């Protein structure tokens, strides 16, 4: 059986509508709000997503610098 991708949507992604649509399609989705991370630093968002084995979904290009610096993550979209 294929495994579904677990996603974490940060605040920059217009997350409410996207999260709703993904959940309706059966995706496992967390958001900054649901995880208690509203206003959190990008490093905290990435660490949360990594700790939950979630791919971070964002429109914030700052995460590219975190990736380039070697911060561990399960993926960034």
Q: pLDDT averaged over consecutive 10-residue blocks of the chain (77 residues)?
A: 79 83 92 93 95 94 93 94
Q: What is the pLDDT of residue 9?
A: 95
53 touches 7 (CB < 8 A) = no
Q: Is residue 75 one of the residues assigned to a domain?
A: no
State the residue range of the domain holding 36: 6-68
In the chain the beta strands, taken as DSSP E runs, fall at 6-9, 28-31, 55-57
Question: Within a domain: residue 19?
Answer: yes
Q: Is residue 73 part of a domain?
A: no
- Contacts of residue 20, defined as CB under 8 A and 6 or more positions apart, other chains included, come to none
Closest to 53 (Cα-Cα) out of 8, 15, 22: 8
How many domains does the chain divide into?
1
| Per-residue model confidence (pLDDT) at position 1 | 41
The predicted structure's pLDDT at residue 67: 95
């Amino acid at each position: 059986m294929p495994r579904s991708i677990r996603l974490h949507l940060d605040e920059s992604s217009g997350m409410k509508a996207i999260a709703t649509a993904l959940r309706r399609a059966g995706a496992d989705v967390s958001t900054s709000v649901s995880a208690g991370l509203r206003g959190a630093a990008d490093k905290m968002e990435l660490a949360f997503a990594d700790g939950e084995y979630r791919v971070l979904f964002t429109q914030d290009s700052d995460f590219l610098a975190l990736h380039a610096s070697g911060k561990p993550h399960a993926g960034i979209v």
